Amino acid sequence: MARIGGFLLVMFIAIATTIGLAFFLYTNELGRLRDAVSRGSLVATLDIGPIEYADSGAGIPLLSIHGAGGGFDQGLALAADLVGGGFRVIAPSRFGYLRTPIPRDSSPAAQGDAHAALLSKLNVPKAVVVGVSAGARSAVELTLRHPDKVAALILIVPALYSPTSPVAIDVSRGNKFAFWAVSAGGDFAWWAAENIAPSILIRFLGVRPALVAAAPQAERSRVMSFVRGVEPLSLRLPGVNIDSAPELHELPLEQITAPTIFISARDDLFNTLPAAEFAAARIPGAKLVVYDTGGHLLVGRVKEIRIAVRTFLAGAGLIP
């Protein structure tokens, strides 16, 4: 009996030590992440309210509009990956993300107006506009409502309206757990899954884990940077909630006159290709680039996308 009691005591100490170490690592990491997102951005005071943004680089102005789970930091990373250098990147945090609060009207149209107001505040008469995933909604609204502000429109894995096959997400058991973590604002749950079962979060971000596992190390690192980039989740949750319940409807896309390119993948688990096809068919002269594989994060396609985007911009006379 004493031997069993000693064994249980050792087990208890081991479990307590493991939990204590995990909690220490988590709180350390969370503190570092909170500190990181408190730097590198500014807050503009606009009529609609405060808008957080980063302003980085020099060259042609480029408005980088992030997707769900993002913020100004994701906007900067996406611009660097998918467009490359030679641009002055303006990356706002959309409504409900990081230091941008939710105004009374949080619709994509209001967000599009906020993008225009931010450009005006920064004395930017016109910019190349990149909208990724859920960020494509306000990018389109900006282009429709303020066409003079948009030199070209680049929509990547766009979470837009489709009449027959809407953007959706797989409801597997792993995604249900990820939904729970997001709904609860679960910083610890997201952090734990990232360290114990990252494949759950990779699938939740719209990519088949097997595709990532087979990719080169640099690409696996890029994907994991997006997984980590959702942290601290609690600072992005209000925005995620807005993006998760969109009221999508058909827009007068035929009125868009800016040069436009769409990029998507057939295996995007968020099913953005039908929306990209539908919208591209309605915007005069729009170009559509489709990859067979890559998922929502376009794994393994970064170099190809950068070439496609820069070729498109050169064709529009915006870069040499």
pLDDT tens for each residue of 84-131: 889 999 999 999 999 999 999 999 999 999 999 999 999 999 999 999
Question: Which range (31-35, 144-148, 187-191, 206-210) has the least confidence?
Answer: 31-35
* Beta strands 60-65 and 150-156, pairing class: unpaired
Average pLDDT on 66-83 reads 95
Residue found under tokens 């105004």: 103
Region of 255 on the Ramachandran plot (φ > 0 left; ψ -120 to 50 alpha; else beta): alpha
Query: Has residue 307 got a pLDDT over 80?
Result: yes
| pLDDT single digits (tens) 173-187 | 555 666 666 666 678
Quote the strand ranges of the chain, DSSP E: 42-46, 49-56, 60-65, 87-92, 127-132, 150-156, 260-265, 287-291
**CATH 3.40.50.1820 holds for 42-167+245-315:** yes
CB within 8 Å of 147: residues ≥ 6 apart: 256, 257, 258
Confidence of residue 38 (pLDDT cuts 50, 70, 90): confident
Q: Give the DSSP H or E segment for 314.
A: helix 302-315
Range scoring the smallest mean pLDDT among 32-46, 130-144, 255-269: 32-46
Beta bridge partners of 289: 263
Alpha carbons 200 and 176: distance in angstroms, whole number = 10
Position 174, amino acid:
G
**Lowest-pLDDT range, 13-17, 85-89, 293-297?**
13-17
Spans of all domains in the chain: 42-167+245-315, 173-240
Residue 48 has pLDDT above 50, yes or no: yes
Q: Distance between CA atoms of 45 and 75, rounded to whole angstroms?
A: 20
